[in-house]
Amino acid sequence: MVLQTIALPLGYAALWNVAIRDVKCGKKQHMDSERTVKKKAWGERESGIDDFRYETAPGFSPRNLWRFFLVDLIAVMSLRLLYSRGLIPGIDAYVLLTLAGKIVLAGYLAWMIRDAADGWGALGVKTGGSPLGWLWGTILYAIAYPGMHLAGRLNFWLLGGAFRFLGWGRFEPEPQEVALILLGGEARSAVCIALLAFAVLIGPVMEEAAFRGVGMDGFGRTGGAWSAAIWTSTLFGLYHFDPSRILPLAVMGFAMAGAGRLSRTLWCPVVLHIFHNSFTLWMMAKNTGKA
């Protein structure tokens, strides 16, 4: 409850800030474009050249990922707040509303990619990459997997220390929401199947397109590959809105960013992400005796 109450106004304020910056940036780009066209047109009249076309650079900017992140933050926290106060009737309705919101967000992401100059090409989905790159990307993920568990322990230790310092008592991490719904037995079978399909297939594709696609391309244009990997992996850890999993998810995001760079295609981190989510849910089900 406290997390939702704090995150919602911050999310709205940040989204508004990004929107204002977009408007200012758009006006500046439009003015720069007009100046360039007028300057070129003046040169054309003198040289007799009349075949001029102003083109924008292909790709994305960091604002694209920030918009995706903040829109999802507001939607998820709003639904959690409404459900916690009993304004959404039952777990089935909550899950279906959440999935509907994610599908709308995926459509918004697809529109954002399509609207960019050479958007799909900038993501790296038009190529299958190199077999050797896929191999190195998979090896990187395998090396990073134990690091995710170590990061999880560090995350727990840091949060526990923060709780003790603030006098909040002992920190007890909550179970993952998806696993809790799938293994809790409260939701209907059809709803669980829809949630499972999103968790192991649609969700990984959407997240990789946003973070390792749009995010890596946008942040990479302003700060280079290492800066892009750090930014996108940090946002990926925060994106799941679970304080107890920020560090392990950030390590996973960094590994996925490296796999994408090594393979030179978005499909490699997509496949690894699908495998990771499927394996994680299978292990949780096995540990609870429901596999």
Asked if 234 and 211 touch (Cβ cutoff 8 Å), the reply is no
30 pLDDT more than 50: no
CA distances from 52 to 16, 26, 32, 42 (A): 37, 22, 16, 11
pLDDT band at residue 25 using 50, 70 and 90 as cut-offs: low
Q: Looking at the predicted structure, is the pLDDT value of residue 74 above 50?
A: yes
Residue 6 has pLDDT above 60, yes or no: no
Give residue 199's pLDDT band: very low, low, confident or very high (50, 70, 90). very high
- The mean pLDDT of 235-244, rounded to a whole number, is 91
For 22, the token pair is: 């977009």
What mean pLDDT do residues 113-119 have?
74
Cα–Cα distance measured from residue 114 to residue 123, given in angstroms and rounded to the nearest whole number: 11
Confidence (pLDDT) at 189 = 84
60: left (phi over 0), alpha (psi -120 to 50) or beta: beta
The answer for residues whose C-beta is within 8 angstroms of residue 5's C-beta and 6 or more apart is 81
Per-residue confidence at 138, pLDDT binned at 50, 70, 90?
A: very high
Query: When comparing pLDDT for 143 and 84, which is higher?
Result: 143
* Average pLDDT of the residues in 196-207: 93
Name the band, by pLDDT with cuts 50, 70 and 90, for residue 129. confident
Question: Which range has the worst mean pLDDT, 108-112, 226-230, 277-281?
Answer: 108-112
- Residue whose pair of structure tokens reads 């297939």 in the numeric block: 201
Which pLDDT belongs to residue 279?
94
pLDDT of residue 266: 92
Mean per-residue pLDDT, 182-191: 79
**pLDDT exceeds cutoff 60 at 39:** no
Q: Which residue has the higher pLDDT, 233 or 191?
A: 233
Specify the range with the lowest mean pLDDT, choosing from 26-35, 115-124, 264-273.
26-35
- Select from 158, 155, 115, 116 the least CA-distant residue to 240: 155
DSSP codes, the chain: -HHHHHHHHHHHHHHHHHHHHHHHHHHHHHHHHHHHHHHHHHHHHHHT-------PPSS--HHHHHHHHHHHHHHHHHHHHHHHTT-S-SHHHHHHHHHHHHHHHHHHHHHHHHHSTTHHHHHT-S----HHHHHHHHHHHHHHHHHHHHHHHHHHHHHHHHHHHHT-----PPPPHHHHHHHHS-S-HHHHHHHHHIIIIIHHHHHIIIIIIIIHHHHHHHHHHHHHHHHHHHHHHHHT--GGGHHHHHHHHHHHHHHHHHHTSTHHHHHHHHHHHHHHHHHHHHHTT--
pLDDT at 8: 45
Q: Whole-model pTM above 0.75? A: yes
- Give the per-residue pLDDT at 117: 64
Average pLDDT, the chain: 80
> Is a pLDDT exceeding 80 seen at residue 175?
no
In this structure, of 21-30, 72-81, 159-168, 184-193, the range with the lowest mean pLDDT score is 21-30
Confidence band (pLDDT; 50, 70, 90) for 102?
Answer: very high
Q: Is the pLDDT of residue 291 over 90?
A: no
Please state, in angstroms and rounded to a whole number, the distance separating the CA atoms of residues 231 and 252: 13
